[in-house]
A and B are shown apart, each in its own frame.
Chain A
Amino acid sequence: MDSEKTSNSRTGERHEGSSGPVVSRKHPQGEPVMEVEDLNMYYGSFKALSDVSIEIARNRVTALIGPSGCGKSTFIRSLNRMHEIVPGARVEGMVTLDGEDIYARDVDPVRVRRRVGMVFQKPNPFPTMSIYDNVIAGLKLGRRRKKSELDGIVEHTLKQAALWDEVRNKLKDSGTSLSGGQQQRLCIARTLAMEPEVILMDEPASALDPVSTQKIEDTMDQLKENYTVVIVTHNMQQAARISDYTGFFFIEEMGAPGRLWEFDETEKMFSNPDRKETEDYVTGRFG
Protein backbone atom coordinates (compact mmCIF):
# COMPACT_ATOMS: atom_id res chain seq x y z
CA MET A 1 0.00 0.00 0.00
CA ASP A 2 1.05 3.59 -0.37
CA SER A 3 1.03 4.39 3.31
CA GLU A 4 4.78 4.93 3.51
CA LYS A 5 5.08 6.80 0.23
CA THR A 6 4.38 10.33 1.35
CA SER A 7 5.97 10.90 4.67
CA ASN A 8 4.62 14.24 5.77
CA SER A 9 5.29 13.68 9.39
CA ARG A 10 4.27 16.71 11.38
CA THR A 11 5.15 15.07 14.63
CA GLY A 12 4.31 16.71 17.88
CA GLU A 13 2.52 19.65 16.37
CA ARG A 14 0.49 21.52 18.92
CA HIS A 15 -2.88 22.65 17.80
CA GLU A 16 -4.33 25.83 19.23
CA GLY A 17 -8.11 25.50 19.19
CA SER A 18 -10.06 28.67 18.57
CA SER A 19 -11.54 28.18 22.00
CA GLY A 20 -10.96 25.68 24.75
CA PRO A 21 -7.86 23.84 25.79
CA VAL A 22 -4.71 23.04 23.92
CA VAL A 23 -5.09 19.73 22.16
CA SER A 24 -2.13 17.53 21.44
CA ARG A 25 -2.43 16.00 18.04
CA LYS A 26 -0.10 14.16 15.77
CA HIS A 27 -0.75 13.47 12.13
CA PRO A 28 -0.41 9.83 11.20
CA GLN A 29 2.10 8.71 8.61
CA GLY A 30 1.06 8.46 4.98
CA GLU A 31 -2.00 9.49 3.07
CA PRO A 32 -5.05 9.35 5.37
CA VAL A 33 -8.20 7.64 4.11
CA MET A 34 -10.47 9.91 6.13
CA GLU A 35 -9.90 13.42 7.40
CA VAL A 36 -12.03 15.22 9.92
CA GLU A 37 -11.73 18.95 10.38
CA ASP A 38 -13.25 21.07 13.13
CA LEU A 39 -16.19 18.76 13.64
CA ASN A 40 -18.93 19.86 16.01
CA MET A 41 -21.90 17.60 16.74
CA TYR A 42 -25.22 18.46 18.27
CA TYR A 43 -28.23 16.58 19.55
CA GLY A 44 -30.87 19.27 19.30
CA SER A 45 -29.41 22.16 21.26
CA PHE A 46 -26.96 19.99 23.21
CA LYS A 47 -23.43 20.17 21.90
CA ALA A 48 -21.96 16.68 22.13
CA LEU A 49 -18.62 17.17 20.40
CA SER A 50 -16.46 20.21 19.91
CA ASP A 51 -13.71 20.94 17.38
CA VAL A 52 -12.64 17.42 16.60
CA SER A 53 -9.94 17.15 13.95
CA ILE A 54 -8.34 13.82 13.21
CA GLU A 55 -6.83 11.87 10.35
CA ILE A 56 -7.59 8.18 9.93
CA ALA A 57 -4.57 6.32 8.54
CA ARG A 58 -5.13 3.88 5.70
CA ASN A 59 -4.75 0.17 6.53
CA ARG A 60 -4.18 0.92 10.17
CA VAL A 61 -6.24 0.38 13.29
CA THR A 62 -7.19 3.60 15.04
CA ALA A 63 -8.55 3.16 18.56
CA LEU A 64 -10.70 5.75 20.30
CA ILE A 65 -10.68 5.64 24.08
CA GLY A 66 -12.04 7.82 26.82
CA PRO A 67 -14.51 7.87 29.69
CA SER A 68 -18.21 7.14 29.11
CA GLY A 69 -20.27 9.96 27.67
CA CYS A 70 -17.39 11.81 26.07
CA GLY A 71 -18.68 11.35 22.53
CA LYS A 72 -16.63 8.47 21.12
CA SER A 73 -19.62 6.58 19.74
CA THR A 74 -21.22 9.81 18.59
CA PHE A 75 -18.01 10.64 16.79
CA ILE A 76 -17.63 7.42 14.82
CA ARG A 77 -21.23 7.67 13.73
CA SER A 78 -20.35 10.95 12.07
CA LEU A 79 -17.85 9.05 9.91
CA ASN A 80 -20.60 7.19 8.02
CA ARG A 81 -23.51 9.51 8.75
CA MET A 82 -25.25 6.94 10.98
CA HIS A 83 -26.08 9.67 13.48
CA GLU A 84 -28.62 10.97 10.98
CA ILE A 85 -31.17 8.34 11.97
CA VAL A 86 -31.39 10.02 15.38
CA PRO A 87 -33.85 12.91 15.08
CA GLY A 88 -32.22 16.23 15.91
CA ALA A 89 -28.64 15.04 15.48
CA ARG A 90 -26.50 17.21 13.20
CA VAL A 91 -22.89 17.99 12.46
CA GLU A 92 -20.87 21.02 11.52
CA GLY A 93 -17.44 20.80 10.00
CA MET A 94 -15.84 18.67 7.38
CA VAL A 95 -15.36 14.93 6.98
CA THR A 96 -13.68 13.63 3.86
CA LEU A 97 -13.32 10.12 2.50
CA ASP A 98 -10.52 9.85 -0.09
CA GLY A 99 -10.68 13.60 -0.37
CA GLU A 100 -14.43 13.72 -0.99
CA ASP A 101 -16.63 15.62 1.45
CA ILE A 102 -19.17 13.08 2.74
CA TYR A 103 -21.48 15.86 3.88
CA ALA A 104 -21.56 17.62 0.52
CA ARG A 105 -25.03 18.53 -0.65
CA ASP A 106 -25.32 15.90 -3.39
CA VAL A 107 -23.81 13.03 -1.41
CA ASP A 108 -26.17 10.14 -0.67
CA PRO A 109 -25.61 8.77 2.87
CA VAL A 110 -26.41 5.30 1.52
CA ARG A 111 -23.30 5.49 -0.69
CA VAL A 112 -21.16 6.70 2.21
CA ARG A 113 -22.28 3.74 4.32
CA ARG A 114 -21.39 1.27 1.57
CA ARG A 115 -17.80 2.49 1.74
CA VAL A 116 -17.67 3.03 5.49
CA GLY A 117 -19.15 -0.03 7.20
CA MET A 118 -20.06 -0.38 10.86
CA VAL A 119 -20.10 -3.07 13.52
CA PHE A 120 -22.16 -2.34 16.61
CA GLN A 121 -21.70 -2.93 20.31
CA LYS A 122 -24.46 -5.53 20.54
CA PRO A 123 -24.44 -8.26 17.91
CA ASN A 124 -27.42 -7.59 15.64
CA PRO A 125 -27.82 -10.30 13.01
CA PHE A 126 -31.07 -10.19 11.03
CA PRO A 127 -33.36 -12.54 12.96
CA THR A 128 -35.37 -13.70 9.96
CA MET A 129 -32.33 -14.66 7.89
CA SER A 130 -30.04 -17.69 7.84
CA ILE A 131 -26.31 -17.37 8.51
CA TYR A 132 -25.72 -17.46 4.76
CA ASP A 133 -28.33 -14.79 4.04
CA ASN A 134 -27.01 -12.62 6.85
CA VAL A 135 -23.58 -12.49 5.24
CA ILE A 136 -24.94 -11.49 1.86
CA ALA A 137 -27.78 -9.32 3.18
CA GLY A 138 -26.18 -6.10 2.02
CA LEU A 139 -25.16 -7.55 -1.34
CA LYS A 140 -28.58 -9.04 -2.03
CA LEU A 141 -30.10 -5.62 -1.73
CA GLY A 142 -27.78 -4.37 -4.45
CA ARG A 143 -27.25 -5.82 -7.93
CA ARG A 144 -28.01 -9.46 -8.71
CA ARG A 145 -25.16 -11.92 -8.47
CA LYS A 146 -24.67 -15.54 -9.43
CA LYS A 147 -25.13 -18.19 -6.77
CA SER A 148 -21.57 -19.44 -7.20
CA GLU A 149 -20.24 -15.91 -6.73
CA LEU A 150 -22.28 -15.49 -3.53
CA ASP A 151 -21.10 -18.88 -2.22
CA GLY A 152 -17.54 -17.71 -2.70
CA ILE A 153 -18.15 -14.42 -0.92
CA VAL A 154 -19.84 -16.17 2.02
CA GLU A 155 -16.96 -18.60 2.47
CA HIS A 156 -14.28 -15.95 2.04
CA THR A 157 -15.77 -13.41 4.44
CA LEU A 158 -16.66 -16.00 7.07
CA LYS A 159 -13.04 -17.17 6.94
CA GLN A 160 -11.85 -13.58 7.33
CA ALA A 161 -14.11 -13.23 10.36
CA ALA A 162 -12.77 -16.52 11.80
CA LEU A 163 -16.22 -18.07 11.84
CA TRP A 164 -16.16 -20.40 8.82
CA ASP A 165 -15.06 -23.57 10.62
CA GLU A 166 -17.76 -23.19 13.23
CA VAL A 167 -20.66 -22.64 10.82
CA ARG A 168 -19.69 -24.27 7.53
CA ASN A 169 -22.09 -27.16 8.10
CA LYS A 170 -25.05 -25.07 9.22
CA LEU A 171 -25.16 -22.09 6.89
CA LYS A 172 -28.94 -22.49 6.60
CA ASP A 173 -29.49 -22.14 10.36
CA SER A 174 -30.84 -18.88 11.72
CA GLY A 175 -28.25 -16.21 12.45
CA THR A 176 -29.69 -15.79 15.93
CA SER A 177 -29.05 -19.47 16.76
CA LEU A 178 -25.36 -18.66 17.21
CA SER A 179 -23.67 -17.64 20.47
CA GLY A 180 -23.07 -13.94 21.17
CA GLY A 181 -19.45 -14.07 20.08
CA GLN A 182 -20.30 -15.97 16.91
CA GLN A 183 -23.10 -13.51 16.16
CA GLN A 184 -20.65 -10.63 16.41
CA ARG A 185 -18.24 -12.34 14.04
CA LEU A 186 -21.19 -12.94 11.71
CA CYS A 187 -21.91 -9.20 11.83
CA ILE A 188 -18.26 -8.52 10.99
CA ALA A 189 -18.48 -10.94 8.03
CA ARG A 190 -21.65 -9.19 6.89
CA THR A 191 -19.83 -5.86 6.93
CA LEU A 192 -16.78 -7.31 5.14
CA ALA A 193 -18.95 -8.72 2.37
CA MET A 194 -19.72 -5.16 1.29
CA GLU A 195 -15.95 -4.58 0.87
CA PRO A 196 -15.94 -1.19 2.58
CA GLU A 197 -12.77 0.88 2.71
CA VAL A 198 -13.21 1.72 6.36
CA ILE A 199 -14.80 -0.38 9.10
CA LEU A 200 -16.08 1.39 12.18
CA MET A 201 -16.43 -0.70 15.31
CA ASP A 202 -18.36 0.61 18.27
CA GLU A 203 -17.12 -1.42 21.26
CA PRO A 204 -17.47 -4.65 19.27
CA ALA A 205 -16.30 -6.91 22.09
CA SER A 206 -17.75 -5.24 25.15
CA ALA A 207 -20.69 -7.65 25.32
CA LEU A 208 -18.53 -10.72 24.76
CA ASP A 209 -16.56 -13.20 26.83
CA PRO A 210 -12.72 -13.16 26.76
CA VAL A 211 -12.42 -16.06 24.31
CA SER A 212 -14.74 -14.42 21.79
CA THR A 213 -12.98 -11.10 22.35
CA GLN A 214 -9.67 -12.79 21.57
CA LYS A 215 -11.06 -14.13 18.30
CA ILE A 216 -12.36 -10.74 17.28
CA GLU A 217 -9.03 -9.12 18.07
CA ASP A 218 -7.25 -11.72 15.94
CA THR A 219 -9.67 -10.97 13.14
CA MET A 220 -8.92 -7.27 13.36
CA ASP A 221 -5.21 -7.88 13.09
CA GLN A 222 -5.76 -9.61 9.76
CA LEU A 223 -8.22 -7.03 8.53
CA LYS A 224 -5.51 -4.38 8.61
CA GLU A 225 -4.05 -5.81 5.41
CA ASN A 226 -7.06 -4.80 3.38
CA TYR A 227 -9.09 -2.45 5.49
CA THR A 228 -8.88 0.59 7.67
CA VAL A 229 -10.38 0.03 11.11
CA VAL A 230 -11.62 2.61 13.61
CA ILE A 231 -12.56 1.05 16.92
CA VAL A 232 -14.13 2.54 20.01
CA THR A 233 -13.20 0.62 23.12
CA HIS A 234 -13.39 0.92 26.87
CA ASN A 235 -10.79 -1.73 27.24
CA MET A 236 -7.39 -0.07 27.48
CA GLN A 237 -5.44 -3.29 27.04
CA GLN A 238 -7.43 -3.96 23.91
CA ALA A 239 -6.57 -0.55 22.49
CA ALA A 240 -2.91 -1.07 23.33
CA ARG A 241 -2.85 -4.55 21.81
CA ILE A 242 -4.55 -3.98 18.51
CA SER A 243 -4.23 -0.36 17.47
CA ASP A 244 -1.57 1.65 15.66
CA TYR A 245 -2.99 5.03 16.61
CA THR A 246 -5.02 6.03 19.62
CA GLY A 247 -7.27 9.02 20.17
CA PHE A 248 -8.26 10.01 23.67
CA PHE A 249 -11.62 11.76 24.06
CA PHE A 250 -12.33 13.71 27.18
CA ILE A 251 -14.90 16.06 28.72
CA GLU A 252 -13.78 18.64 31.19
CA GLU A 253 -17.02 18.70 33.14
CA MET A 254 -20.54 17.29 32.98
CA GLY A 255 -22.58 18.86 30.19
CA ALA A 256 -19.55 20.16 28.33
CA PRO A 257 -18.97 18.85 24.81
CA GLY A 258 -16.48 16.03 24.27
CA ARG A 259 -13.13 16.85 22.71
CA LEU A 260 -10.35 14.88 21.13
CA TRP A 261 -7.83 15.51 23.89
CA GLU A 262 -4.82 13.78 22.48
CA PHE A 263 -4.05 11.76 19.39
CA ASP A 264 -0.83 9.94 18.68
CA GLU A 265 0.81 6.62 17.98
CA THR A 266 -0.55 4.02 20.36
CA GLU A 267 2.87 3.26 21.79
CA LYS A 268 3.43 6.88 22.74
CA MET A 269 -0.10 7.31 24.11
CA PHE A 270 0.36 4.40 26.48
CA SER A 271 3.97 5.05 27.48
CA ASN A 272 4.56 8.76 27.40
CA PRO A 273 1.49 10.83 26.56
CA ASP A 274 1.78 14.60 26.28
CA ARG A 275 -1.13 15.36 28.54
CA LYS A 276 -1.78 14.61 32.14
CA GLU A 277 -5.42 13.59 31.65
CA THR A 278 -4.39 11.03 29.04
CA GLU A 279 -1.82 9.59 31.38
CA ASP A 280 -4.29 9.46 34.24
CA TYR A 281 -6.79 7.68 32.06
CA VAL A 282 -4.52 5.08 30.48
CA THR A 283 -2.97 4.24 33.82
CA GLY A 284 -6.43 3.72 35.27
CA ARG A 285 -6.43 6.64 37.66
CA PHE A 286 -9.94 7.57 36.59
CA GLY A 287 -12.67 6.60 34.10
Chain B
Amino acid sequence: MNGLTRPVSGHLRRRKLMDRTMTAVAYLCAALAIIPLTWIVVYVLIQGLGAWNVRFFTQLPTTFEAGGVRSGIFGTLEVVGLSILIGVPMGVMAGIFLAEYGSNVLGAIIRFTADTMSGVPSIVVGLFVYGLIVLNTGGAYSAVAGAFALAILMIPVITRTTEEIIRLVPASIREASLALGVPRWKTILRVVVPTALSGIVTGIFLAVARVAGETAPLIMTIFGTTAPISKNIFDGPTTTLSLLIYQLGGASFPEVVKVAWGGALLLILVIFGLSILARVLFGGGGTKF
Protein backbone atom coordinates (compact mmCIF):
# COMPACT_ATOMS: atom_id res chain seq x y z
CA MET B 1 0.00 0.00 0.00
CA ASN B 2 2.96 2.37 -0.37
CA GLY B 3 2.67 3.25 -4.04
CA LEU B 4 0.20 5.67 -5.60
CA THR B 5 -0.92 3.05 -8.10
CA ARG B 6 -2.48 -0.17 -7.07
CA PRO B 7 -3.02 -3.26 -9.17
CA VAL B 8 -6.42 -2.97 -10.81
CA SER B 9 -8.77 -5.06 -8.75
CA GLY B 10 -12.33 -6.04 -9.46
CA HIS B 11 -13.49 -3.63 -6.79
CA LEU B 12 -11.77 -0.66 -8.38
CA ARG B 13 -13.11 -1.59 -11.82
CA ARG B 14 -16.65 -1.71 -10.42
CA ARG B 15 -16.18 1.71 -8.87
CA LYS B 16 -14.95 3.22 -12.09
CA LEU B 17 -17.83 1.71 -14.02
CA MET B 18 -20.32 3.06 -11.49
CA ASP B 19 -18.75 6.50 -11.73
CA ARG B 20 -19.08 6.55 -15.51
CA THR B 21 -22.65 5.28 -15.43
CA MET B 22 -23.75 7.91 -12.94
CA THR B 23 -22.06 10.69 -14.88
CA ALA B 24 -23.84 9.52 -18.02
CA VAL B 25 -27.20 9.38 -16.21
CA ALA B 26 -26.69 12.93 -14.92
CA TYR B 27 -25.92 14.21 -18.40
CA LEU B 28 -28.94 12.40 -19.81
CA CYS B 29 -31.26 13.94 -17.23
CA ALA B 30 -29.88 17.40 -17.93
CA ALA B 31 -30.47 16.87 -21.64
CA LEU B 32 -34.02 15.62 -21.02
CA ALA B 33 -34.76 18.74 -18.99
CA ILE B 34 -33.55 21.00 -21.76
CA ILE B 35 -35.39 19.20 -24.58
CA PRO B 36 -38.93 20.55 -23.86
CA LEU B 37 -37.65 24.13 -23.55
CA THR B 38 -35.68 23.93 -26.78
CA TRP B 39 -38.57 22.25 -28.50
CA ILE B 40 -41.00 25.01 -27.50
CA VAL B 41 -38.64 27.79 -28.52
CA VAL B 42 -37.81 26.21 -31.88
CA TYR B 43 -41.44 25.35 -32.61
CA VAL B 44 -42.69 28.85 -31.74
CA LEU B 45 -39.86 30.33 -33.75
CA ILE B 46 -40.79 28.28 -36.84
CA GLN B 47 -44.51 28.93 -36.48
CA GLY B 48 -44.30 32.55 -35.41
CA LEU B 49 -41.55 34.04 -37.51
CA GLY B 50 -43.67 33.59 -40.64
CA ALA B 51 -46.37 35.78 -39.13
CA TRP B 52 -44.04 38.70 -38.56
CA ASN B 53 -44.51 41.47 -41.10
CA VAL B 54 -45.45 45.14 -41.11
CA ARG B 55 -49.16 44.34 -40.83
CA PHE B 56 -48.52 42.16 -37.77
CA PHE B 57 -47.00 45.04 -35.84
CA THR B 58 -49.26 47.87 -37.08
CA GLN B 59 -52.80 46.46 -37.51
CA LEU B 60 -55.51 45.73 -35.01
CA PRO B 61 -56.41 42.08 -34.45
CA THR B 62 -59.42 40.41 -36.06
CA THR B 63 -60.77 36.93 -35.52
CA PHE B 64 -61.76 36.26 -39.16
CA GLU B 65 -58.68 37.30 -41.18
CA ALA B 66 -54.97 37.91 -40.69
CA GLY B 67 -54.58 41.10 -38.64
CA GLY B 68 -51.97 42.49 -36.29
CA VAL B 69 -51.25 42.68 -32.59
CA ARG B 70 -50.63 46.43 -32.25
CA SER B 71 -53.23 46.77 -29.50
CA GLY B 72 -51.69 43.78 -27.67
CA ILE B 73 -48.22 45.33 -27.68
CA PHE B 74 -49.46 48.64 -26.31
CA GLY B 75 -51.86 46.94 -23.91
CA THR B 76 -49.06 44.78 -22.49
CA LEU B 77 -46.86 47.83 -21.97
CA GLU B 78 -49.78 49.66 -20.35
CA VAL B 79 -50.94 46.92 -17.99
CA VAL B 80 -47.48 45.65 -17.05
CA GLY B 81 -46.22 49.23 -16.67
CA LEU B 82 -49.07 50.09 -14.31
CA SER B 83 -48.54 46.88 -12.35
CA ILE B 84 -44.87 47.85 -11.87
CA LEU B 85 -45.96 51.22 -10.49
CA ILE B 86 -48.22 49.49 -7.98
CA GLY B 87 -46.25 46.36 -7.20
CA VAL B 88 -42.58 47.36 -7.12
CA PRO B 89 -42.75 50.01 -4.37
CA MET B 90 -44.92 47.77 -2.20
CA GLY B 91 -42.84 44.66 -2.83
CA VAL B 92 -39.48 46.32 -2.27
CA MET B 93 -40.59 48.14 0.86
CA ALA B 94 -42.14 45.00 2.31
CA GLY B 95 -38.87 43.17 1.57
CA ILE B 96 -36.83 45.85 3.34
CA PHE B 97 -39.19 45.66 6.29
CA LEU B 98 -38.89 41.88 6.52
CA ALA B 99 -35.11 41.92 6.32
CA GLU B 100 -34.53 44.79 8.73
CA TYR B 101 -37.43 44.74 11.15
CA GLY B 102 -39.04 41.38 10.43
CA SER B 103 -37.61 39.18 13.17
CA ASN B 104 -40.83 39.28 15.20
CA VAL B 105 -44.37 37.93 15.04
CA LEU B 106 -45.52 40.57 12.55
CA GLY B 107 -42.60 39.69 10.29
CA ALA B 108 -43.40 35.99 10.53
CA ILE B 109 -47.03 36.69 9.59
CA ILE B 110 -46.06 38.81 6.59
CA ARG B 111 -43.50 36.25 5.45
CA PHE B 112 -46.04 33.44 5.70
CA THR B 113 -48.62 35.53 3.85
CA ALA B 114 -46.19 36.32 1.06
CA ASP B 115 -45.25 32.66 0.68
CA THR B 116 -48.90 31.64 0.58
CA MET B 117 -49.76 34.40 -1.87
CA SER B 118 -47.10 33.29 -4.31
CA GLY B 119 -48.81 29.91 -4.38
CA VAL B 120 -52.33 31.19 -5.04
CA PRO B 121 -53.46 30.30 -8.59
CA SER B 122 -53.45 33.40 -10.75
CA ILE B 123 -57.06 32.88 -11.81
CA VAL B 124 -58.11 33.16 -8.16
CA VAL B 125 -56.31 36.49 -8.00
CA GLY B 126 -58.21 37.53 -11.14
CA LEU B 127 -61.50 36.55 -9.57
CA PHE B 128 -60.61 38.50 -6.42
CA VAL B 129 -59.82 41.67 -8.35
CA TYR B 130 -62.98 41.16 -10.44
CA GLY B 131 -65.03 41.14 -7.27
CA LEU B 132 -63.09 43.95 -5.62
CA ILE B 133 -62.64 46.43 -8.45
CA VAL B 134 -64.56 45.50 -11.58
CA LEU B 135 -67.88 44.82 -9.83
CA ASN B 136 -67.49 47.84 -7.57
CA THR B 137 -66.94 50.19 -10.52
CA GLY B 138 -70.16 49.18 -12.23
CA GLY B 139 -68.71 46.25 -14.09
CA ALA B 140 -66.03 48.32 -15.79
CA TYR B 141 -63.08 46.29 -17.05
CA SER B 142 -59.98 48.44 -17.01
CA ALA B 143 -56.21 48.45 -17.39
CA VAL B 144 -55.91 49.47 -13.75
CA ALA B 145 -57.89 46.44 -12.60
CA GLY B 146 -55.58 44.20 -14.66
CA ALA B 147 -52.51 45.95 -13.29
CA PHE B 148 -53.83 45.40 -9.79
CA ALA B 149 -54.14 41.66 -10.39
CA LEU B 150 -50.62 41.47 -11.84
CA ALA B 151 -49.24 43.53 -8.95
CA ILE B 152 -50.73 41.07 -6.47
CA LEU B 153 -48.91 38.27 -8.28
CA MET B 154 -45.70 40.30 -8.41
CA ILE B 155 -45.51 41.57 -4.83
CA PRO B 156 -44.74 38.31 -2.99
CA VAL B 157 -41.98 37.44 -5.46
CA ILE B 158 -40.35 40.87 -5.16
CA THR B 159 -40.80 40.92 -1.39
CA ARG B 160 -39.06 37.61 -0.83
CA THR B 161 -36.18 38.22 -3.26
CA THR B 162 -35.61 41.70 -1.81
CA GLU B 163 -35.55 40.25 1.69
CA GLU B 164 -33.09 37.52 0.71
CA ILE B 165 -30.76 39.95 -1.04
CA ILE B 166 -30.78 42.49 1.80
CA ARG B 167 -29.99 39.72 4.26
CA LEU B 168 -26.90 38.95 2.18
CA VAL B 169 -25.46 42.42 2.82
CA PRO B 170 -22.64 41.72 5.31
CA ALA B 171 -23.24 42.82 8.89
CA SER B 172 -19.81 44.47 8.83
CA ILE B 173 -21.05 47.12 6.39
CA ARG B 174 -24.06 47.87 8.57
CA GLU B 175 -21.81 48.07 11.62
CA ALA B 176 -19.45 50.44 9.83
CA SER B 177 -22.27 52.84 9.17
CA LEU B 178 -23.79 52.60 12.64
CA ALA B 179 -20.37 53.12 14.21
CA LEU B 180 -20.04 56.39 12.29
CA GLY B 181 -23.06 57.63 14.17
CA VAL B 182 -25.46 57.18 11.28
CA PRO B 183 -29.02 56.41 12.44
CA ARG B 184 -30.44 53.00 11.62
CA TRP B 185 -32.99 54.20 9.01
CA LYS B 186 -30.34 56.22 7.17
CA THR B 187 -28.01 53.25 7.29
CA ILE B 188 -30.67 51.14 5.61
CA LEU B 189 -31.51 53.72 2.93
CA ARG B 190 -28.03 55.01 2.15
CA VAL B 191 -25.80 52.00 2.75
CA VAL B 192 -27.70 48.70 2.89
CA VAL B 193 -30.17 49.19 0.02
CA PRO B 194 -27.60 50.65 -2.42
CA THR B 195 -25.31 47.71 -1.67
CA ALA B 196 -28.13 45.27 -2.45
CA LEU B 197 -29.57 47.30 -5.33
CA SER B 198 -28.39 45.17 -8.24
CA GLY B 199 -29.89 42.08 -6.64
CA ILE B 200 -33.17 43.86 -5.92
CA VAL B 201 -33.44 45.09 -9.51
CA THR B 202 -32.71 41.58 -10.80
CA GLY B 203 -35.57 40.29 -8.64
CA ILE B 204 -37.89 42.96 -10.05
CA PHE B 205 -36.96 42.06 -13.64
CA LEU B 206 -37.67 38.38 -13.02
CA ALA B 207 -40.99 39.14 -11.31
CA VAL B 208 -42.03 41.39 -14.20
CA ALA B 209 -41.03 38.73 -16.70
CA ARG B 210 -43.19 36.27 -14.81
CA VAL B 211 -46.37 38.37 -14.83
CA ALA B 212 -45.90 39.66 -18.40
CA GLY B 213 -47.19 36.33 -19.70
CA GLU B 214 -50.17 36.02 -17.32
CA THR B 215 -53.50 35.47 -19.01
CA ALA B 216 -56.14 34.05 -16.68
CA PRO B 217 -56.38 36.96 -14.23
CA LEU B 218 -56.54 39.40 -17.12
CA ILE B 219 -59.60 37.80 -18.71
CA MET B 220 -61.57 38.84 -15.66
CA THR B 221 -60.03 42.25 -15.22
CA ILE B 222 -59.20 43.80 -18.59
CA PHE B 223 -61.54 41.49 -20.53
CA GLY B 224 -59.50 41.35 -23.72
CA THR B 225 -60.84 42.97 -26.85
CA THR B 226 -60.05 43.01 -30.54
CA ALA B 227 -61.37 46.58 -30.71
CA PRO B 228 -58.96 49.48 -30.12
CA ILE B 229 -57.91 49.52 -26.47
CA SER B 230 -59.55 52.00 -24.12
CA LYS B 231 -57.79 55.35 -23.75
CA ASN B 232 -58.97 55.60 -20.15
CA ILE B 233 -56.90 53.40 -17.87
CA PHE B 234 -59.68 53.38 -15.28
CA ASP B 235 -62.50 52.39 -17.62
CA GLY B 236 -62.89 50.25 -20.67
CA PRO B 237 -61.52 46.95 -21.89
CA THR B 238 -58.02 46.58 -23.20
CA THR B 239 -55.93 43.60 -24.26
CA THR B 240 -52.45 42.15 -23.99
CA LEU B 241 -50.31 39.83 -26.09
CA SER B 242 -51.15 36.90 -23.86
CA LEU B 243 -54.90 37.49 -24.21
CA LEU B 244 -54.62 37.86 -27.97
CA ILE B 245 -52.78 34.54 -28.17
CA TYR B 246 -55.66 33.00 -26.23
CA GLN B 247 -58.34 34.58 -28.41
CA LEU B 248 -56.72 34.34 -31.84
CA GLY B 249 -55.24 30.91 -31.17
CA GLY B 250 -58.73 29.47 -30.85
CA ALA B 251 -59.98 30.97 -34.10
CA SER B 252 -61.14 28.73 -36.93
CA PHE B 253 -59.09 30.43 -39.64
CA PRO B 254 -55.49 29.23 -40.04
CA GLU B 255 -54.23 32.70 -40.97
CA VAL B 256 -55.62 34.05 -37.68
CA VAL B 257 -53.97 31.24 -35.69
CA LYS B 258 -50.75 32.18 -37.47
CA VAL B 259 -51.00 35.69 -35.95
CA ALA B 260 -51.39 34.08 -32.52
CA TRP B 261 -48.10 32.19 -33.11
CA GLY B 262 -46.46 35.46 -34.05
CA GLY B 263 -47.73 36.96 -30.80
CA ALA B 264 -46.45 33.98 -28.85
CA LEU B 265 -43.00 34.43 -30.36
CA LEU B 266 -43.02 38.14 -29.48
CA LEU B 267 -44.08 37.43 -25.90
CA ILE B 268 -41.42 34.75 -25.43
CA LEU B 269 -38.76 37.06 -26.76
CA VAL B 270 -39.87 39.87 -24.42
CA ILE B 271 -39.75 37.55 -21.38
CA PHE B 272 -36.43 36.03 -22.44
CA GLY B 273 -35.13 39.51 -23.04
CA LEU B 274 -36.06 40.62 -19.53
CA SER B 275 -34.49 37.54 -17.93
CA ILE B 276 -31.31 37.80 -19.97
CA LEU B 277 -31.08 41.55 -19.37
CA ALA B 278 -31.39 41.00 -15.63
CA ARG B 279 -28.56 38.46 -15.71
CA VAL B 280 -26.28 40.37 -18.05
CA LEU B 281 -26.72 43.73 -16.31
CA PHE B 282 -26.24 42.39 -12.83
CA GLY B 283 -24.12 39.30 -13.33
CA GLY B 284 -26.72 36.68 -12.47
CA GLY B 285 -27.92 38.33 -9.29
CA GLY B 286 -24.44 38.22 -7.85
CA THR B 287 -23.85 41.39 -5.87
CA LYS B 288 -20.48 42.97 -5.52
CA PHE B 289 -19.70 42.90 -1.85
Contacts and interface: CB of A to CB of B under 8 A. Distances in A.
Nearest to A114: B181
Nearest to B103: A87
Interface string B174-186: 1111111111001
B190 interface: yes
A187 interface: yes
A212 B252 CA distance: 78
B199 to A, nearest CB: 12
Contact of A128 (B179, B180, B194): B194
B191 interface: yes
Contacts of B179: 80, 82, 113, 117-118, 120, 191
B112 interface: no
Interface of B: 103, 170, 172-183, 186, 190-191, 194-195, 197, 288-289
A138 interface: yes
B112 to A, nearest CB: 21
A124 B180 contact: no
A114 B174 CA distance: 15
Interface string A1-12: 000000000000
A104 interface: no
A99 to B, nearest CB: 20
A113 B172 CA distance: 16
Contacts of B197: 128
Interface string A109-140: 01111110110101011111000000001101
Contacts of A85: 174-175, 178
Given A110-B183, A141-B190, A126 B176 contact: yes
B177 A137 contact: yes
Given A120-B176, A124-B172, A127-B289, A138 B181 contact: yes
Given A82-B175, A124-B175, A141-B186, A113 B170 contact: no
Contacts of A25: none
A125 B176 CA distance: 8
A194 interface: yes
A110 B182 contact: yes
Contacts of B183: 110, 141
